[in-house]
């Protein structure tokens, strides 16, 4: 199956750069793009240049005072009080030059992706520069300044009036997007993430189900630390199928953080590439089954930027473009291009080698716990029960 897909990219994405030791590094997007080009999956005609989001567009979600603080942070120092209030200048989210412009380009990329799909220029669109799911209305958080996903959903609601299913497979809870639509029955959020017991941001409990009209439209699957492929994909697949059937979305927006991988330095999940192959394959299926193919995918976290993120993100585009994942060897000229710049040995195959899978003695326990989380989270997707809500 061949679908029309748009790859949103600008070198301006690389200007979203805190400092050289910061774990969040947008060179991941360039590495993914280069891998696709060298694998002959991406050509110039696939690429759409993004625009910068306007201030009115940012204000679809953010407070004007916050936008102004971001603008000032990029050119001069904020006071200590302002840093506290707006979450900028912290260790996680330090200020950097042109912070507002760089952050607005990531948002513009996501809005360009939305327009491409909803104006019928392509069925799918991918903005690997986006997915900054921790951004709040008036506060930056967890490496995220402007929350492009939340802005895009408001933009879809306002300009296209469609029901949006947001699916977040980043290892961290998609808190910023969840709270933005917590009372909205036209936006359903699903986040599968490592339990917040030991991991930022700490939220994402099963019982966060939404409020008022939006009650029953927020789903959380907090899975156990050390979860491996089988349990991750089983939990994700069952949940996404049931929730899509329950909600009947018009469009799907996915956040594709690649930090659930066993090599990721910031989280404790133990997935391999297998999980990052299954994630886009099912999202694609569901988009065609329920949404006439309307699927917009974003990047997100992912801190093993050399070994994990490029392959994981390239597979999303592969699925969008060809309907399937890649397997076998990576293009050797990709390794020769980047190996000298990488502190670790680059992978040579699309799939992970078996040796990287750790032996987790608690595996059965973890699977059982995750199954219980799944059952409890999906308790209300059954239509009869839903009428009682």
- Residues making contact with Zn ion (CB under 5 A): 3, 170-172, 257, 259, 301
254 phi and psi, to 5 degrees?
A: -110, 140
Helix and strand tally (H, E) in the chain? 13, 8
The least CB distance from residue 195 to Zn ion, in Å, is 14
**Number of other CB atoms surrounding residue 355 within 10 Å:** 6
Closest distance of CB 284 from Zn ion, Å: 5
- Which residue, 268, 303, 264, is CA-closest to 142? 303
Tell me if residue 194 falls in helix, strand or coil: strand
To Zn ion, the closest distance from the beta carbon of 167 in angstroms equals: 14
Residue given tokens 């700490």 in the structure block: 202
- Could you tell me the two tokens for 297? 């995918």
| Torsion sign across C-alpha atoms 199, 203, 207, 208 | negative
- Dihedral over alpha carbons 133, 138, 141, 145 (to 10 degrees): 70
Listing DSSP states for 209-273 in one string gives ---GGGTT-EEEEEEPTT-BHHHHHHHHHHHHHHHHHHH--SEEEEE---TTBTT-SS---BB-H
Least distance (Å) from Zn ion to the CB of residue 320?
A: 6
**Pick 133 or 209: Cβ nearer Zn ion:** 133
Minimum CB distance to Zn ion smaller for 186 or for 220: 220
As given in the structure block, the two tokens for residue 86 are: 């707006």
Residue 144 contacts residue 174 (beta carbons within 8 Å): no
In the bound state with Zn ion, the residue whose beta carbon lies nearer, of 3 and 225, is 3
Considering the complex, what minimum distance in angstroms separates the CB of residue 205 from Zn ion? 17
Looking at the Cβ atoms of 13 and 334, the one nearer to Zn ion is: 13
Residue closer to Zn ion (CB basis): 67 or 253: 253
Nearer to Zn ion, 112 or 169 (CB): 169
Minimum separation from the CB atom of position 247 to Zn ion (A): 20
Give the residue at shortest CB distance from Zn ion: 301
Q: Please, what is the minimum distance in Å from the beta carbon of residue 161 to Zn ion?
A: 23
Q: Which is nearer to Zn ion, 190 or 330 (CB)?
A: 190
């Amino acid at each position: 199956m061949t679908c029309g897909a748009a790859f949103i990219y600008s070198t301006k994405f690389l200007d979203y750069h805190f400092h050289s030791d910061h774990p969040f590094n947008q060179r991941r997007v360039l590495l993914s793009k280069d891998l696709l080009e060298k694998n002959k999956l991406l050509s110039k005609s696939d690429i759409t240049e993004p625009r910068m989001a306007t201030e009115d567009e940012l204000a679809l979600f953010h407070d004007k005072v916050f936008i102004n603080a971001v603008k000032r942070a990029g050119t001069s120092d904020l006071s200590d009080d302002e840093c506290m209030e707006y979450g900028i200048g912290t260790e996680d989210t330090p200020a950097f030059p042109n912070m507002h412009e760089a952050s607005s380009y990531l948002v513009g990329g996501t809005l360009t992706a939305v327009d491409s799909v909803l104006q019928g220029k392509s069925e799918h669109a991918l903005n690997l520069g986006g997915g900054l799911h921790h951004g709040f209305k008036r506060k930056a958080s967890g490496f995220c300044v402007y929350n492009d996903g939340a802005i895009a959903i408001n933009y879809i609601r306002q300009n296209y009036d469609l029901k949006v299913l947001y699916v977040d497979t980043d290892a961290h809870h998609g808190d910023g997007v969840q709270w933005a639509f917590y009372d909205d029955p036209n936006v359903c959020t699903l986040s599968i993430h490592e339990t917040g017991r030991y991991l930022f941001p700490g939220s994402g409990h099963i019982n966060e189900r939404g409020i008022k009209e939006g009650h029953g439209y927020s789903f959380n699957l907090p899975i156990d630390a050390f979860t491996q492929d089988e349990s991750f994909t089983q939990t994700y697949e069952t949940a996404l199928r049931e929730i899509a059937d329950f909600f009947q979305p018009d469009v799907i927006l996915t956040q594709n953080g690649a930090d659930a991988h066993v090599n990721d330095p910031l989280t404790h999940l133990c997935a391999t590439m297998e999980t990052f192959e299954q994630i886009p394959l099912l999202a694609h299926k569901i988009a065609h089954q329920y949404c006439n193919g309307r699927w917009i995918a974003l990047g997100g976290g992912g801190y093993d930027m050399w070994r994990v993120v490029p392959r994981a993100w390239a597979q999303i585009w592969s699925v969008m473009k060809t309907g399937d994942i890649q397997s076998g060897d990576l293009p050797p000229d990709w390794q020769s291009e980047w190996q000298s710049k990488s502190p670790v040995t680059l992978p040579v195959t699309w799939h992970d080698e078996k040796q990287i899978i750790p032996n987790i003695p608690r595996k059965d326990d973890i699977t059982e716990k995750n199954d219980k989380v799944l059952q409890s989270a999906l308790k209300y997707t059954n239509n009869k029960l839903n009428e009682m809500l």
